[in-house]
Amino acid sequence: MLQCIFILSDSGEVIVEKQMVGHRVDRAICVWFWDYVLANAAGDPSKILQVVVSPTHYLFQIYRNGVTFLACTQVEMPPLMAIEFLSRVADVLTDYLGDLNEDIIKDNFVIVYQILDEMMDNGFPLTTEPNILKEMIAPPNIVNKMLNVVTGKSSTLGSKLPDAAASFVPWRTTVVKDASNEVYVNIVEELDACVNREGVLVKCEAYGEIQVNCSLPGVPELTMSFANPTIMNDFTFHPCVRFRPWESDQVLSFVPPDGQFKLMSYRVKKLKKTPIYVKPQLTSDSGNCRVSVMVGIRNDPGKPIDSITVQFQLPPLIVSADLTANYGTVDILADKTCLWTIGQIPKDKAPALSGNLRLEEGLAQLHTMPTFQVKFKIMGVALSGLQIDKLDVKNTPSAPYKGFRAQTQAGKYDVRS
Amino acid sequence: MFGLQSSGAAASWVVGRMGTDAHLYDDPDDASIPALLDSRFDADKVDALKRLLALIAQGVDVAHLFPQVVKNVASQSLEVKKLVYLYLLHYADKRQNEALLSVNIFQKDLSDINPLVRAWALRTMAGIRLHVVAPLVLVAVKKCARDPSAYVRKCAAYALCKLCDLLPDQAMALEEIVDILFGDNSPGVVGAAALAFKTVCPSCLALVSKHFRKLCETLPDIEEWTQIILIEILLRYVIARHGFVKDSLLSAEIQGINDSDPVASMPTQHDSAGNGFCGTISNIMLFRHYIEEFSGFPDGEGDSLRLSSVTTSGNNDVAILLKCTSPLLWSRNSGVILAAASVHWIMAPIGDVKRIIGPVLFTLRSSPDAAHVMLGNILVFAKTMPLLFAPFYEEFFINASDPYQTRALKLEILTTIATEPSIQAIFEEFQDYIKDPDRKFVADTVAAIALCAQKLPSIATTCLEGLLALVFYESSMSNSGHFDGEDAVLVQAIMSIKAIVKVNPVSYEKVIVRLVRSVDKIKEPVARCLIIWIFGEYNFMGNLIPKIVPAVLKYLAWTFTADVVETKLQILNASAKVIMHCPEEHMEEFKRIVAYVIELATYDLNYDVRDRARLLSRLLPCYTTHLGPSHHPPNGDICKELAYHIFDGKLQPSSPSTNNYRIYLPGSLSQAVLHAAPGYTPLPKPQSMELSHNKIIEPTRSNNSVAESGSSIYESSSVYDSESEGDGLSDRGTDASLHHQDNQDVPLVHIYDTSIQKGQTGQNAEENFADLISTDLTELMSKSALESWLAEAPADTLVQNSLQASSARVAFTNHSFERKPKLHTLLDSSDSNGLRVLYAFSSEVSPRSRILVCVDLYLENVTTQQLTDIAIKSEEASSGVDSIGQTSEGSVSVPTIVPVEGIHSLAPQQTEKMVLEVHFHHHLLPLKLSVLCNGKIHPAKLHPDIAYFVRPLPMDLNAFLCKENQLRGMFEYARRSVKIHLVQYDHLDKLEHSDKNLQVAHSVASKILGNTNVHLVSMDMPVTFNVDDTSGLCWRFSSEIPSTSKPCLITILAEGHASGPLDLTVKVNSEDTVFALNLLNRVVAIIE
């Protein structure tokens, strides 16, 4: 049972306070929390654990885009319920407001209050399905805003209980009107890889999500099957997916919610190769450290590899760093992070970063080695090789338009040096 | 160009904010909020309410506008309504009386045609948590539980949770509603019902039994949050009903402990290790903690219970539960996955447990926020079945973005699951980690390497090589003295070497030699100490080490003065060890060196070093002077023995830290924070449930304020213990209560404490005590520590606690007081030709109607002649009295009497008793009667006594306190400093109690009970060392007003000394306030 939820800005200021039960929690707890963040993570809440024990309360916190969602309880409750709920709140707010940051929450604080009140009652999640919430509390769209400006009044509240709140399929309203009769399926994969100091690929796997944007009238029945379902090692499903057909035939059968949702997430382990290589080399000698990083395409996925960046934390005990690249830009950020933005790899040359790190006086060699974090994005391909075989839509008056997309980006891609 | 861009950005920013409530948040105070609230237009009201909300968000207290806001609750606009509700819920607990104003609107809204309005009204009405309206809410919930809209029914279930602390005495009614909701068709409602069940009556597992199958089948369809709750309920039910599964991991462990001694169970561990499961003593401890009973009972007793409490996996209920929870392992919610995994881990047959591993590991990637909590649980799973996790070691490789705590957990899991096939890869990873910038993590890695090497000796040599290289490298690094944490890595590396070498020192002698040879390069004192210790410990072993001893010893003697105190002590120890084992040929040389070292130490600045030197100089001669028997010191042998034990005693094999603090159920908060959070409940005792349905009424769970439920037993019991030691009074009380158990007579007094009271409900007191004494101490500590942390507990429970803690309760039964009715004169003999009529109020209940008050009339003929035709009539209306029953509720509120038959004749000196039934209508004015006698009419006045207008209402203390809580504020009248003197009670000495407190208690109670028609609920005695001090003495009486059936509670509190004047505070709580005030006056009059 959560006693209250606070939304904090990235300077520890309380943006929104929502008490959940009769016994109120003083916002002094936020001050305590922020002192804790300052003491333990130098003011960066993303480095704090999700469960924190304060002298008076147990705190749960998650961090998104400079905004901390903080919840308090004093009694036993499943911690994952609190954490998952907070991330659901963050997701719903992002979905509603288009983005999530301090200003946007302040600008729409009434909606935030209404959403929080509907999502949680007496410290326990009440309505968390975005579709139903949207019918109870209208998202701030441009029409609403203009109405507000022109007429000076508007209501964000739906006057009527959504049918779905009471239906057997809580994620879908029974009648979806003015649907454009189309369904889009988007496979988004993240490639996790780990290359050790010897240059050996220790681990390489793809974490994928199938996102569906569905705008179909009535109560449609969808069936999706894969060409190669066996390559998936793990999966989780949206509650709309029926377990039986998946267990027996590995077919996804579901009545979709209206709008955007995550149908499933999966993981394909033990991939053999990464699309690009990053070869860092650090040699230190008598107070100097030569850095050289080479980046190139190892396995051409057939589509352009975009927005490649390589990022690493400069080792401590460095007096100065002089790093240049023959392609792209090199920035050294405030927290001693070096960010090399490459973009696309050019045809004619191999991007390379090189330079010199000057070590502190009396230090001959570098004793710690940085880990290089690689980012990239490839549109139009799922690197795991997962393929959707077909998508059947039943129960619709006319055949809907079906669209498919795929993209892969780097997830936790670590190259150690 | 630049200016253009920035103005463009500003413009888009303005557009983005246009039409939002941004201006309200930025400047909520720029308009007069009260004026807007009173506006006729909804738009203005909305504006004002939004401003208020903005102020709340910014932490400004706007409670003073409460009255103006509340009246807007009647608005027709849904938006206004919703905003008012938001405000109301935020402040209701502060402004209870004003919040009452809104109740009528809620009542009205509850019958609105829009289900959303009904739901909101119900949510808010329950959410404002007013004791006074709680009964109304209960009625509303009952109604809404049958609402056509599932959303409203769901909200009804949520409202139940809010009600349960407000209406603790209505537990039965609440349970009934839970029962109804469990049977609902809509999965959403069933889920909410599970939540209500958990809050309202978590121990009434019998309630689950009739819905069990249906609940299991609905489980996959209900909402994810309630799935977490329902899974837990079902698990508890199955365990309480059927016990554990015979071939599950958990009961396999239990079988292990059933072998009479723990050592014997070790071999079984190896047997099962081949199976993929490895049980260790700590695992067994872990499982014992999960179950309520196991942590309480001494071993022998518990074992016998266990064998019988095992079921097979073929059991239907178990099978259904497992079947219905397995698809949930694919949930998108990590909480659901963990809950389902816990069920399988506890209940599934060993062979099926592995299905949880994949899903559980996947959550580390799919819900990154949950990763740390999940890892904590995985660690527990992995410790009990390391081989099942072994193939998945790659999951636990460290990412650059992992925070330190996550890394530490991953390392621990890696060491737990490392096996021969995987160790190579793991070891390579570890080598990478050594270069990590986080040196604390590096030190942990080095420690982990040692643990792996101890577990898998095949890699020990490789590990040692790596560690030695690390030591050499680090020693060169740390000499430059720049870095924090570098020393820790070095020290940890040497400690790891020490740990690995210890297993078989002779075979690693080369390593020892190389390490010892590097001692001159290492400056870090702790590291030097460790190396010197290793040198001393193994100086005589193998072939190589003895060869370097002379050189090292010389070196140590040489650097002695330059070292720090700890190192000096270690050098002294090492020299002693060397001399004890030194071969003949080096004896002379070593003697000289050691003598030199001791000499240096004797003149050291530090007294510890000097002391050590003196000790050695007394002990060591027995080794150095054994050549000539003439020089043999008198106690040589003893010295040798002593020295041997000091310096050569076998080291205790220090087992790798068996402290496992993750002893709480997987998925619980307690497991994540490593102490029992308030409200944590272990699994029920296996097969403890009886299927009789009376169990539902079981009163074990007295309150739901979870913060205290877990620990109250311990607390009060410890208080009880100290009391019985320190105070004669409660000693006697204990005897009395024990005595009470033996014979069934009702004793006059028995003193008991809450713990005993609780104990009596389930088991006898002795069992209860055993339970308490053997309770795990650490658990107790952490609980009480946390209690003291959580000082924010609601104030009234604190008061209640302290009451329970410091007072014993004296129970007088109502029968132990004689009611001596006081006789009043109705008619004096002088006025009426010799007829004397006396009257007394009686506590009898009239057979005609409960609202009639019985008055006993005693008619006595004091003359010598016969008196005839005596009758008593009401002076005014002699009509209408027949229909007393009907008119009672009517507007006629004149006191009336029920006609009674007259007495035909009364002989001289004869006394006749007559019962007069009067309906007073709560009038306190004298009732005019006419007494007919010998044909004459004599007017008479009957003075009503309000103390007899009430009827006793038996209730127990808890019920009393609850009722009292509901009747606070305007329903409470109190009169302070009612003084009484105790001198008048001296006559009580003849009673068997000599204790003054008891005397006081008894006398006041008898006064009240003798003169009013009430029920004595309890009498609390202060338990203090000062016997004379009566402060805290407290009486509680309950009664009800017959005409309205409203309870009327009387509390009397004493202050002062038993020997001096006593200050009493009398308090009456009743909804009928006028009546309460009158009653209060009367009670005060009685006492005085």
Residues of chain A with CATH 2.60.40.1170: 182-272+383-416, 276-379
Q: pLDDT tier at B800 (50, 70, 90 boundaries)? A: very low
Please name the member of A125, A161, A313 whose beta carbon is closest to the beta carbon of B151.
Answer: A161
Please tell me the distance from the alpha carbon of residue B63 to that of residue B69, in angstroms, as a whole number.
Answer: 10
Residues of chain B in contact with residue A167, where contact means CB-CB under 8 angstroms, are 150
pLDDT at A293: 92
User: Using N-to-C axis directions, what is the helix angle for B134-144 and B150-166, rounded to 10°?
Assistant: 150
| C-alpha to C-alpha distances, B912 to A224, B825, B907, B917, nearest whole angstrom | 98, 15, 10, 16
Tell which of A8, A24, A88, A109 to mutate to test the B interface (max B CBs under 10 Å): A109
Give first-to-last CA distance, chain B, whole Å: 94
pLDDT tens-place string over residues B200-225: 888 888 888 888 989 998 898 888 99
Is the domain spanning A182-272+383-416 CATH 1.10.3720.10? The answer is no
Nearest chain A Cα distance for residue B158, angstroms: 7
Residue pLDDT, tens place only, B879-897: 444 444 443 344 445 677 7
Residue B710 pLDDT: 37
Say yes or no: A80 contacts chain B, CB-CB below 8 A: yes
Residue A310 has pLDDT above 50, yes or no: yes
pLDDT of residue B691: 53
For residue range B694-708, list pLDDT tens digits in order.
433 333 333 333 333
Instruction: Convert the pLDDT of each residue in B914-946 to its tens digit.
Output: 888 887 777 777 777 888 777 778 888 888 888
Enter the CATH code of domain B21-209: 1.25.10.10
Q: Which residues, other chains included, contact B599 with Cβ-Cβ below 8 Å and sequence gap of 6+?
A: none
Instruction: Name the range with the highest mean pLDDT among B202-216, B772-786, B789-803.
Output: B202-216
pLDDT tens per residue, range A68-94: 999 999 889 999 999 999 999 999 999
The domains of chain B are located at: 21-209, 539-625+636-646, 824-875+896-944, 951-1087
CATH, domain A276-379, list 3.40.50.970, 2.60.40.1170, 2.40.50.100, 3.10.20.600: 2.60.40.1170
3-state secondary structure chain A: CCCEEEEECCCCCEEEEEECCCCCCCCHHHHHHHHHHHHHHCCCHHHCCCEEECCCCEEEEEEECCEEEEEEECCCCCHHHHHHHHHHHHHHHHHHHCCCCHHHHHHCHHHHHHHHHHHEECCEECCCCHHHHHHHECCCCHHHHHHHHHHCCCCCECCCCCHHHHCCCCCCCCCCCCCCCEEEEEEEEEEEEEECCCCCEEEEEEEEEEEEEEECCCCCEEEEEECCHHHCCEEEECCCECHHHHHHHCEEEECCCCEEEEEEEEEECCCCCCCEEEEEEEEEECCEEEEEEEEEECCCCCCCEEEEEEEEECCCCEEEEEEEECCCEEEECCCCEEEEEEECCCCCCCCEEEEEEEECCCCCCCCCCCEEEEEEEEECCCCCCCCEEEEEEECCCCCCEEEEEEEEEEEEEEEEC
- Give residue B906's pLDDT band: very low, low, confident or very high (50, 70, 90): confident
- State pLDDT tens for residues B136-166: 888 899 989 888 888 899 999 999 888 888 8
Question: How large is the average pLDDT for residues B423-446?
Answer: 89
CA distance A180 to chain B (A): 27
Could you give the residue range(s) of every CATH 3.30.450.60 domain in chain A? 4-151
Q: How far does the CA of residue A353 sit from the closest CA of chain B (Å)?
A: 21
Q: What is the mean pLDDT of residues B452-463?
A: 86
How many CB contacts within 8 angstroms connect chain A with chain B? 303
- Mark yes or no for CB contact B119/A161 under 8 Å: yes
* ipTM above 0.90 for this complex: yes
Alpha-carbon B246 to chain mean position: 32
Residue A372 predicted with pLDDT over 90: yes
Mark residue A282 as left, alpha or beta (left: phi above 0; alpha: psi -120 to 50; beta: remaining). beta
Query: What pLDDT digit, counting tens, does each position of B277-316 carry?
Result: 444 445 556 666 677 655 444 443 344 444 445 666 667 8
What is the average pLDDT across B669-687?
84
**The CATH number, out of the four listed (3.40.640.10, 3.30.70.270, 3.30.310.10, 3.20.20.70), of the domain defined by the range B951-1087:** 3.30.310.10
pLDDT of residue A165 exceeding 70, the answer is no
**pLDDT tens-digit map of A332-367:** 888 888 999 999 888 888 899 999 888 887 777 777
Task: Tell me how close the Cα of A326 comes to any Cα of chain B, in angstroms.
Answer: 26
- The answer to whether A377 contacts chain B (CB < 8 Å) is no
Assess whether pLDDT exceeds 90 at residue A417: no
For the segment(s) A4-151, the CATH number from 1.10.10.350, 3.30.470.10, 3.30.450.60, 3.10.129.10 is: 3.30.450.60
Q: What is the CA radius of gyration of chain A?
A: 25
Confidence of residue A173 (pLDDT cuts 50, 70, 90): low
State the pLDDT confidence band at A374, using cuts at 50, 70 and 90. Answer: very high
Residue B282 distance to chain A (closest CA, Å):
24
User: Closest partner residue to B224 among A165, A239, A414, by Cβ?
Assistant: A239
The whole-number pLDDT of residue B23 equals 78
Which of B412 and B871 is assigned the larger pLDDT? B412
> A199-228: per-residue pLDDT in tens?
889 999 999 999 999 888 878 889 999 999
Give the helix/strand (H/E) hosting B952: strand B951-952
Q: What is the mean pLDDT of residues B421-429?
A: 89
What pLDDT digit, counting tens, does each position of B562-586 carry? 888 889 888 888 888 888 877 777 7
| Best CATH choice for the domain B824-875+896-944 from the list 1.20.140.10, 3.60.15.10, 2.60.40.1150, 3.10.20.30 | 2.60.40.1150
Highest mean pLDDT among A19-33, A360-374, A401-415, B62-76: A401-415
pTM of the model: 0.71
Q: Is the pLDDT of residue B363 over 90?
A: yes
- What average pLDDT does range B992-1004 have in this prediction? 68
Euclidean distance between CA atoms B831 and B460, whole angstroms: 117
Average pLDDT, whole number, for chain B? 74
Interface-testing mutation among A84, A200, A271, with chain B (most B C-beta atoms within 10 A): A84
When mean pLDDT is compared across A242-246, B268-272, B550-554, B591-595, the lowest value belongs to B268-272
Residue B768 confidence (pLDDT) = 41
Cβ pair B130, B92 in contact under 8 A: yes
Contact (CB, 8 A) for A138 and B175? no
Cβ atoms of B934 and B868 within 8 Å: the answer is yes
Per-residue pLDDT of A253-296, as tens digits, reads 998 888 888 999 999 998 888 899 999 998 888 778 899 999 99
Rounded to 5°, the CA angle B706-B707-B711 comes to: 100
The pLDDT tens digits of the residues spanning B950-990 come to: 888 888 888 888 888 777 766 777 777 777 765 444 444 44
CB A243 within 8 A of CB A190: no
- Which chain A residues are within 8 Å of B405, Cβ to Cβ? 49
